[in-house]
A and B are shown apart, each in its own frame.
Chain A
């Protein structure tokens, strides 16, 4: 299975900060990379698909970039509601695999 390595596993930031989370795939996954946000006790929510396409209703402060094996989720100006855990997902090859998650906490 394709391994997805996410970093950092956690970070502390303040409202208004620019935050970057990275995800590295163990092999080329083309552009089949998505990002999810999960808040405690809630289901994951799709933020970005196909590396950089914003899911409907998701604020434009979220963006994605990358290609091949290295990908990035950026939050341009962190808002109070953005404190959550973020996961990347590859579904280029079965089984779909998630990164280990990045917990974004208040500094």
Chain B
């Protein structure tokens, strides 16, 4: 069974840092591109970042570019999101999601982890 389990969320002050993790199981993690998507309270879904299966390629939304860094450890089947210089507008539930092959978009999602940026 495919499982994605996020962790690392919490309350952080503006300007602070947080690292999210996404532990994958039930599939060959090293062969899938992985993504982060966030959802502010009561709002819609917004794509944040992606990383290729081997870690050689990354992309970021303009809103987080230069502040967030995506990474992965294929030996540990884990995806990460390092978030620096956090702002109030980064407050959201952060989901990791797997992108399947071909034109199948995000087919499996984690349960999400809440990040709250507030003083």
**Residue ID in chain B nearest A32 by CB atoms:** B103
The main secondary structure of chain A at its interface with chain B is loop
- Are B44 and A87 interface neighbours, CB within 8 A? yes
Interface size of B in residues (CB-CB distance below 8 Å): 18
CA–CA, A34 and B106, complex, Å: 9
- Are A96 and B47 interface neighbours, CB within 8 A? yes
Query: Which one of B104, B105, B107, B112 lies within 8 Å of A96 (CB-CB)?
Result: B105
- Are B107 and A43 interface neighbours, CB within 8 A? no
- Are B104 and A95 interface neighbours, CB within 8 A? no
Take A32-B103, A46-B107, A49-B104 as given contacts and tell me if A98 and B44 are in contact as well, using a CB distance cutoff of 8 Å: yes
**Residue ID in chain A nearest B96 by CB atoms:** A43
- Are B111 and A89 interface neighbours, CB within 8 A? no
Query: Which one of A42, A89, A100 lies within 8 Å of B105 (CB-CB)?
Result: A89
- Are B103 and A95 interface neighbours, CB within 8 A? no
Cβ distance B77 to chain A, nearest Cβ, rounded Å: 19
Question: Which residues in window 74-107 of B have CB below 8 A to A?
Answer: 95, 102-107
- Are A94 and B95 interface neighbours, CB within 8 A? no
Interface residues of chain B, those whose CB is within 8 Å of chain A, are 35, 44-47, 59, 61, 95, 102-107, 109-112
